[in-house]
Structure 1
Amino acid sequence: MALPTAVGATPVPRKPNSSKKPSAGEIDRFVGTRIRERRITLGLTQQELAERIGVTYQQAHKYERGINRISAGRLYNIAAALEVQVAYFFEGIDNPVRSNFSQRQRMCLELARNFTHITNQRHQEALSHLARALAGEDQQES
């Protein structure tokens, strides 16, 4: 039974002329990508994820890249830290069409995350006004 697919259009890499199930390495990379996408969606850094699951930044990076295999127990902890069910990481693996964050989406998420860390309300308001002004300039140039 195929799991539901996520929205998007990037297939999981498969070996040429192969209709077999993905290899263990391909699954590791797919799961790692899903971890990364969820982390970014929540506005977490790799360091913050690492702290939540009790590993080093380097280890979290290796999980996201699919370099190191993730044990079942660790995947359970990652799911809890990212507020999803374990099955989330495998959604779309049998019918590999998934979303990719664009560079612009990543910048927007990073901007939002950094904005929430600004404690001075006047600075937040100034940044908000600046963003509106710059957006207005872009519209006038078009």
Structure 2
Amino acid sequence: MKHPVDVHVGKRIRHRRWTAGMTQQQLAERVGIKFQQIQKYETGANRVSASRLWDIAQSLDVDVSFFFDGLASSAASEETGEAPTDILVDKEALELVRSYYAIPENQRRQLFELARVLGRAA
């Protein structure tokens, strides 16, 4: 069974890698491992050793503590079944944000207002 901390750290690795625009292969090459190992870390299937986490943090240009940010709230939301407080750990949400910022600014403002109205109506 996957440990919740390993899953959280894996999600944070994926989140940072994805926001940096880096593939699993690119991260693996920087760290000196195979991309399959990155996949296992990101799903929480394998635990990341302290030294490997250090290497990953250096490669992704973040402090090691980044991977533990939101851990307490993540564990609490997992227990209660609530939505995570850090919505950007979700791949779909990250894709939505990237797509949103790819839209020209005037259209983006209109889309934002539409989303706000729809959110109020829900």
TM-score (normalised: structure 1)? 0.56
Aligned length: 95
| Corresponding residue number in structure 1 for 2:65 | 87
Cα offset, 1:105, TM superposition? 3.9
SS at 1:44 equivalent = coil
Question: Matches of 2:91 and 2:38 in 1, distance apart?
Answer: 21
Which sits farther off after the overlay, 41-50 or 95-104?
95-104
Matched, 1:60 2:38: yes
In the alignment, structure 1 segments of 5+ residues that lack a partner are 1-22, 111-130
Q: What RMSD in Å do the two structures reach over aligned CA positions?
A: 2.8
SS at 2:70 equivalent = coil
Percent identical: 41
In the alignment, structure 2 segments of 5+ residues that lack a partner are 75-84, 112-122
More helix by share: 2
Matched, 1:75 2:64: no
SS at 2:71 equivalent = coil
**RCO (CA 8 Å, sep 6+): is it higher in 1 or 2?**
1
| Corresponding residue number in structure 2 for 1:98 | 86
Whether the aligned pair in 2 keeps the contact of 1:40 and 1:106 (CA below 8 Å) is: no
TM-score (normalised: structure 2)? 0.65
Alignment counterpart, residue 51 of structure 1, candidates 26, 29, 50: 29
Question: Matches of 2:97 and 2:14 in 1, distance apart?
Answer: 16
The C-alpha deviation readout for 1:98-134, integer Å capped at 9, x for no partner, is 2234537437759xxxxxxxxxxxxxxxxxxxx87xx
Question: Matches of 1:72 and 1:50 in 2, distance apart?
Answer: 16
Runs in 1 of length 4+ with deviation above 4 angstroms? 107-110
2:47 maps to a residue whose letter is R
SS at 1:70 equivalent = coil
